[in-house]
Amino acid sequence: MPSPAPALAGTGVSSAGTVHANLTAAGLYEHAIRRGEGRLSADGAFMAVTGVHTGRSVQDKFVVDDPEVRDKVWWGPVNRPLAPEKFRGLAAKVRGWLGRRPVLFTQDLYAGADPAHRIRVRLVTTNAWHALFARNMFIRPPREELEGFRPDYTILHAPEYEADPAEDGCRTGTCIALSFAARTILICGTSYAGEIKKSIFTVMNWLLPERGVLPMHCSANLGRAGDVALFFGLSGTGKTTLSSDPERSLIGDDEHGWSDGGVFNFEGGCYAKVIRLSREAEPQIWDASHRFGAVLENVVADEFGHLDLEDASLTENTRACYPLDFIPNTVPGGQAGTPRNVVMLTADAFGVLPPIARLSPAQAMYHFLSGYTARVAGTEKGLGREPQATFSTCFGAPFLPRHPEVYGKMLAERISRDGADCWLVNTGWTGGAFGTGRRMSIQHTRALLRAALDGSLARAEFVRDPFFGLMIPKAVPGVPAEVLNPRATWADKEAYDRTARELVGRFEKNFETFAGTVDEEVKAAAIRAAA
């Protein structure tokens, strides 16, 4: 039954229309299909097309320049300031526009599996499928906890509403604006559902450091011996794929906190890239994407609903969103102990980094602050079809409201205190740069990770890479020796040396930003990496 106006309590939205609060997946399916918001796949997944926005609109994200937070925000291209009065004006218009819709959907959800550090989130949206997306992605409270639910943060989601740049202080009709003072997020002018997910990740990245908790853009899993592993990396580097290991239990695939008590998931679902998804290589993600309850974004299917995961005609950034319990071996409650291994994933488009290397704690902080990878086409609006080399500090710069050093220092302290082993893993190219070389074999990557996580790789014999100062294992069971040394995979050794030196230069130039803020040990690691 439609819920009355109390479903909008705390949002500032007043509606005379119908408000559907906290509908289940089945109820949201019914409305989404009846309203023509999408279609069903042959397996029962809901398929939505997001139009022109098939990735995050990074240039249209704003943080409100409230006096309470002004001195703590990392201002710049990641966090563009929006004047408080402009935010108030736009918020009033969005609330008014939502209030005039004949039907609204709300979902009351948690972010943060640890009750000591979670926040309560209320989403107000015009579309049933966006409500289903949020219900899949965040943590669904037990029914008894919905009574009297009051949000800590509210998302006002108006995908069909266009902002006015001249009046609202934004760049285009698309605007994602976050006010920490008002605890409100406005999303308008885009139907890409990832904006909902990442807006709350940004909130958690703001709140948790002051509580002594490190927020992280990483996946996490748990071994049978109780060992926790973290996988840092941007979209397309393999976080979801590599953490969804049938031999280990999944804690979560994208966002976590590291507290004194251990690791906890921020979310209750997964948001996996599915372009060219292989059933053989990624059976868990495949199965989760082919069933009732999953939401597929911009995935192509034939007239009978049979998916074509090879088809990138809409975007390379095709996605599946599904609840964590669609994965058969997840950690109940989304919490586990302190990490034994920290893995930093990169998709090296230059093809010069090794498939795996052991990092010292100082090198780990260096590579964490560097955040080198390749942005994969379609992950952000405006990218071309070829991967582009980039540095995204902390492997998540677009979601960091505070200065990167805050997170870098916290990571270094956690690694030192808990004694975690650290690894750099290249899931990108080998035998040459993109266009000449080939993508790293996932079978080889999995074999290398198994050796790292079971502790055997730490006891291997290593050699130092002359360009980056990385420690590369000489032999790993199941992986050809020549694969371990990237120079050996290139037919043209001089071309490898030249390309490696070029990438070292990029690392060096990028790290100039942090030269005055890190300690001497990390500087020394940087010097070795750029030697």
- The DSSP result for 283-342, as a single string, is HHHHHHHSSTT-EEES-EE-TT--EETT--SS-S--EEEEEGGGSSSB-GGGEE--EEEE
**Closest by alpha carbon to 409, among 265, 514, 282?**
514
196: exposed, middle or buried (Cβ count in 10 Å: 0-12, 13-18, 19+): buried
Active site residue 392: no
The answer to whether residues 325 and 337 belong to one domain is no
Question: Nearest-5° angle of CA 87, CA 103, CA 53?
Answer: 55
Q: Are 518 and 472 found together in one domain?
A: yes
Residues 477 and 515 in one domain: yes
Query: Mean of the pLDDT values across residues 385-394?
Result: 75
pLDDT tops 80 at residue 96: yes
Q: How confident is the model at residue 515 (pLDDT cuts 50, 70, 90)?
A: confident
Q: Is the pLDDT of residue 379 over 50?
A: no
pLDDT at res. 455: 94
Q: Are 238 and 311 contained in the same domain?
A: no
CATH number for 305: 2.170.8.10
- Identify whether residues 446 and 478 lie together within a single domain: yes
- Within a domain: residue 73? yes
- The closest alpha carbon to 271, from 329, 196, 331, 204, belongs to 196
198 is catalytic: yes
Among the listed residues 157, 239, 290, 358, the single catalytic one is: 239
Q: Is the same domain home to 226 and 259?
A: yes
Instruction: State whether 397 and 503 are in the same domain.
Output: yes
Kindly give, in sequence order, each residue whose CB lies less than 8 Å from that of residue 146, ignoring residues fewer than 6 positions away.
22, 108
Active-site option among 235, 259, 315, 346:
235
| Furthest CA-CA distance within the chain | 71
Does residue 205 fall inside a structural domain? Answer: no
Cα 495–501–506 angle (5° rounding)?
Answer: 125
Which has more confidence, 386 or 512? 512
**Given 184, 202, 237, 240, which residue is catalytic?**
240
Question: Do residues 243 and 305 both lie within one domain?
Answer: no
| pLDDT given for residue 387 in this prediction | 52
Do 137 and 285 belong together in one domain?
no
The model's confidence at residue 528, banded by pLDDT at 50, 70 and 90, is: low
| CA distance linking residue 343 with residue 367, whole number of Å | 11
| Secondary structure in 3-state letters for 199-248 | HHHHHHHHHHHHHCCEEEEEEEEECCCCCEEEEECCCCCCHHHHHCCCCC
215-252: string of b/e by CB count within 10 Å (b at 16+)? bbbbbbbbbeeebbbbbbbbbbbbbbbbbbbeebbbbb
What is the pLDDT at residue 517?
82
Q: Decide if 239 is catalytic.
A: yes
> Rounded distance, CA 183 to CA 458, Å?
45
Distance CA 318, CA 312 (A): 8
3 has catalytic annotation: no
- Please confirm, yes or no, whether 235 is among the known catalytic residues: yes
Set 86, 217, 375, 414: catalytic member? 217
- pLDDT tens column, 234-278: 777 888 888 888 899 999 999 999 999 999 999 999 999 999 999
Q: If you average pLDDT over every residue of the chain, what do you get?
A: 93
119 Cβ partners below 8 Å, 6+ apart?
A: 110, 111, 112, 152, 153, 200, 203, 204, 207
The per-residue pLDDT for range 62-95, each reduced to its tens digit, is 999 999 999 999 999 999 999 999 999 999 999 9
Whether residue 62 sits in one domain with residue 163 = yes
Q: Does the active-site annotation cover 489?
A: no
Summarize pLDDT for 444-493 with one digit per residue, the tens: 999 999 999 999 999 999 999 999 999 999 999 989 998 999 999 999 99
Please identify which of the residues 157, 198, 290, 375 carries the catalytic annotation.
Answer: 198
- State the pLDDT at residue 386: 52
Phi and psi at residue 435, in whole multiples of 5°? 100, -25
Question: Is there a domain that residue 51 lies in?
Answer: no
H-only helix segments in 344-492? 361-370, 404-418, 442-453, 481-484, 486-489
- Which pLDDT score, from 0 to 100, does residue 376 have? 45
Q: Is 179 a catalytic residue?
A: no
CATH number at residue 369: 3.90.228.20
Of 132-136, 245-249, 335-339, give the lowest mean pLDDT range: 245-249
Q: Where is average pLDDT lowest: 72-86, 190-204, 239-253, 350-364?
A: 239-253
Burial code (b: 16+ CB inside 10 Å, e: under 16) for 370-403 equals bbbbbbbbbbbbebeeebebbbbbbbbbbbbbbe
Q: So what's the pLDDT on residue 390?
A: 84
Calculate mean pLDDT across residues 277-284.
90
Task: Select from 297, 259, 250, 402 the least CA-distant residue to 54.
Answer: 297
CA distance 7 to 27: 16
Q: Which of 20-29, 238-247, 281-290 has the lowest mean pLDDT?
A: 238-247
The candidate with the shortest Cα–Cα distance to 109, out of 216, 203, 1, is: 203
Domain assignment present for residue 297? The answer is: yes
Query: Is the CB of residue 326 less than 8 Å from the CB of residue 488?
Result: no
Q: State residue 3's pLDDT score.
A: 39
Which residue range is the domain that position 376 belongs to? 214-269+333-529
Split at pLDDT 50, 70, 90, the class of 6 is: confident
Judge whether residue 385 has pLDDT over 80: no
Residues 82 and 177 sit within 8 Å (Cβ to Cβ): yes
Catalytic-residue membership of 164: no
Query: 20, 95, 319, 375: which one is catalytic?
Result: 319
pLDDT at 416 over 60: yes
Domain count for the chain, please give it: 3
Q: What is the pLDDT of residue 402?
A: 97
Of 254, 348, 421, 465, the active-site residue reads 254
From 378-382, 387-391, 513-517, the region with the lowest mean pLDDT = 378-382
H helices present in 371-492, as ranges: 404-418, 442-453, 481-484, 486-489
Give the pLDDT band of residue 50 (cuts 50, 70, 90).
very high
Residue whose pair of structure tokens reads 């870098």 in the numeric block: 408
Let me know if residue 309 belongs to a domain.
yes
